[in-house]
Structures are given as structure tokens and as C-alpha cells.
Amino acid sequence: MANHSYLLVSLLLFSSLFSHSIVFGANTDGYRVLTVQSLPLPAESCTSKEYKKPGLKIIHKYGPCSPISGQKATTLEIIQRDESRVNWLQSQLTDDSSRVDVQDITVPAYLGTSFRTTNYIVTVGFGTPKKDMTLEFDTGSDLTWIQCQPCAGSCYPQQQPIFNPSDSSSYLNLSCSSTQCSQLSLVIGCSSSTCVYFTAYGDGSNSTGFFAKDTLSLTQSDVFPSFLFGCGQQNTGLFGNTAGLLGLGQGVLSLVSQTASKLGRVFSYCLPPTSSSPGYLTLGPDTIPSGIKFTPLLKNVNRPTFYFLNMTGMSVGGQALPIPASTFASPGTIIDSGTVISRLPPSVYATLRSAFRQAMSNYTVAAPVSIFDTCYDFSGQGDISVPTITLSFEGGVDVLVDFSGIILAASQTVGCLAFAGNVNAGSWTIIGNRQQRTFDVIYDIAGGRVGFSPGGCS
């Protein structure tokens, strides 16, 4: 076996899920049977789990294992932030403009607003000697950036000391005339001939600073001496005490692309069903299991960051929904680690909702909660039969969604269908992380494909 390097992560998601009060039963006749005493509150304890592949941990910053102090959020707060992320993604996917001159930008003064958080955090090392920085990671972003001294009076609070470039013997600012500076698809400016980046998000949060390179340490053996990143001097918004963001998109400046010579542009992760159990992220070709089915990774030269798939259909209770595959084709589908709830075309969601409601007609309907319009009151219930939901993709790939991706617990007694419809038919379909749970999701960028292997977190 080739000596490939791996990045292992423990992924802990926020928990508004059924956990110890549920006993999963047989999956027969298109239904999952489980026993529910109540819908529990978010998990308060951290359950460790070891995997064979060594590496770094990634956890959910709102979970019980989070190293970021004081980070709490209810399910509905997370969903509200998810709406902000979806709006940002839709704007990025539909905006054909690529490069904008920095003097044409008016920086919004959204002090105190919430960053369109991705929720997952990882600790990596920057500089020589290395300084540990806890970052959010995101398959929907390319540029990695961290807060840097001096902050010019505009840095938000973070858990670790803010990175000081003068303490690193390997730090180097990049000039405006450098090839690397020209690779930025974000806003570019110059300050004393030094390349300046500007990145903004849908809620008004933003980061501005020097485009630089320094040593990035993922593990003791995975060290990259000339990693390109943003050294943020002015940063606005609430980024949850993290030091910045780690980009796992497929653009030229992403972590995946910059480490390609060693890690082969292949990575995978598994998101566990609850926040009290770990998952993992690995990098390297040896992460691909045998016998897995893949769906093609589609190319979009105008939007190179995102991961595009061809979704072809859905099933409820083992029965295919009467939805033409062409319904998903325009404008298309992306898979995203940072979006929580999958967003579907309006007509697809209406068909899914109708079939799901029919299958759940024996249960008491509850009032809508936030973006969820199909909710049930399970007070006093014992066994519950929930119809299965399957997502189908080109190549005969069927993803049988875990129960945690079908029902979201809005309270101890109310559970809702964990999907949402887009506002209009022109919006992109987004496969969110809740519907990816328990699968080993393999991104083989070099091979132009994405695979789903069940039981990835077992």
C-alpha cells in the first residue's frame, strides 16, 4: 500500500436528535421502526471513539466535545444561521462575476451579526515554530484565512492568541505582481505592493488582510512549507471564537489543491448521527474503500469551488416519487459540508412532503417550526414507524438517508421532516450535511467522482 498521509477528524454534530431513547428496529417494507420515550435535549456528554486512521480531530463547535468555550446554540438558532448560509451559497452559485476591484466594494458594517457558520472546527498549526489555530472547515470555500496581528482595532474575540506573523521565521507576504496573487478569485487590492484579499459572506461578515504564505502543519508528518492563506488584519462579525476558516473546496487555492502532490486530491469524511459520537475526515487516495458506487463529479468552470452532482430522483417508503430527473437538472445540485438541511426544488419538496405526510397519517400533526412545515407531536408514543427516504444520483447511486436525516427534533416531543424547499424553481438543490450522516462520503476529485459508502461511522 502506498504511503499516503491521512487527516483524521472526529466530527461531533450538534444534537437535537433522538439518541439513547431510541431503539432502531428492522428496516422492512420501506419503514424504520423505533421506540421513543421522548425527544431528548442536546447531548451534554462527550463519548470518545477511536478510529484506525491517525490524525487530527474535527468536532462540531456546539457539541459537548468542543474545545471552544462558551459556544452554545439551540436547534432553531442553528437553522436560522443555516438559512444565511444557503442564501450566501445561492448568491455565489448564480453570480457570474468573478473578480471585483477592491475600491468598488463598500464594506458592510454588520458588527455583531452571525457568520454563516459551518459548525465544524479543526485545529492545525501555522508558522515556524507552529502555533495551533482552531478553524472552521468548509467544502464551499477555497481560501483559508486566519486573524493576524496587528489587527488595526478590528479583530473579533477568539479562543487562542491571535497569530503574529513576526513570530514565524517562515512567514512571507506576497506581492501584487506575484503569480499567486493573480490566482485569487476574490477581491484583490494592493498595499505598498503587497497583495490584499477581501472576502465577505451573506450575513455581512468579512475579512480583509494580506495574502501570504507560511508553513501549515496538519500532522507531524503532513507539513506544507509554502501554504497560501489570508492573514486577516480587519475582520468583522461573530466567528464563534475560532481563528478563521479552512477551505476544502476544489479551487486552486483550497487545502485540497495545495496539498495535491502529496495527498492526491482525494478526501472523505463521515458525519455521525449525534453530537456525542465522533466521525472522521481523511485525506489521501487510500481512503477509497473497495466495491463502492460512485456518481460523476460534474465540472462547472465558472464556479470551480463547489462540488456538483447529478441528482436523478427520490424515494419515500421504498417507492420512487413521480419526479422527472430533468427537474433536478436546472440549475443543478451541489453537495455541501456546511449546509445543515438539504434544500430541494419547490415541486420536488411538495411531492416529498405529500408522500411523507401520507405515510405519517397515523401521527398527530404539530404546528410548523421555523422552516419546517411537516411536524408531528410524538407525546406518549411508543413504537414509531418512519418511512425511509432515498436520494438517487447518476450512476445508479442510491443514498438511504439515516433516520437522523429524516426527522429533526424541534423539542422533546415534536419532530419535523428534516428537508426544506427552495423559494423558487431557479435555485440550486443543496445536499446538506444532515442527509449525509453515517455515510463515508468520498470526494475523488482526481477521478472526477463522489461516492457514498454506508456505515462509515461504525
Supply the residues annotated as catalytic.
Answer: 138, 336
Strand partners, 386: 32
Find how far residue 398's CA is from the centre of its chain: 21
Pairing of strands 266-270, 440-444: antiparallel
Nearest residue to 398 (alpha-carbon basis) of 406, 410, 390? 390
Q: Is the backbone of residue 38 left (phi > 0), alpha (psi -120 to 50) or beta?
A: beta
Pairing of strands 31-36, 22-28: antiparallel
77 close to 16: Cβ distance less than 8 angstroms: no
d(C-alpha 132, C-alpha 135), whole Å: 10
CA separation, residue 347 to residues 110, 398, 427 (Å): 35, 21, 12
Pairing of strands 419-421, 342-344: parallel
| Stated length of the chain | 458
Cell of 284: 489521501
452 close to 335: Cβ distance less than 8 angstroms: no
User: What end-to-end distance do the CA atoms of the chain give, in Å?
Assistant: 23
122 close to 246: Cβ distance less than 8 angstroms: yes
d(C-alpha 49, C-alpha 55), whole Å: 13
Amino acid present at 171: Y
CA separation, residue 119 to residues 63, 65, 158, 248 (Å): 9, 13, 15, 14
* Run of H or E residues at 89: helix 75-94
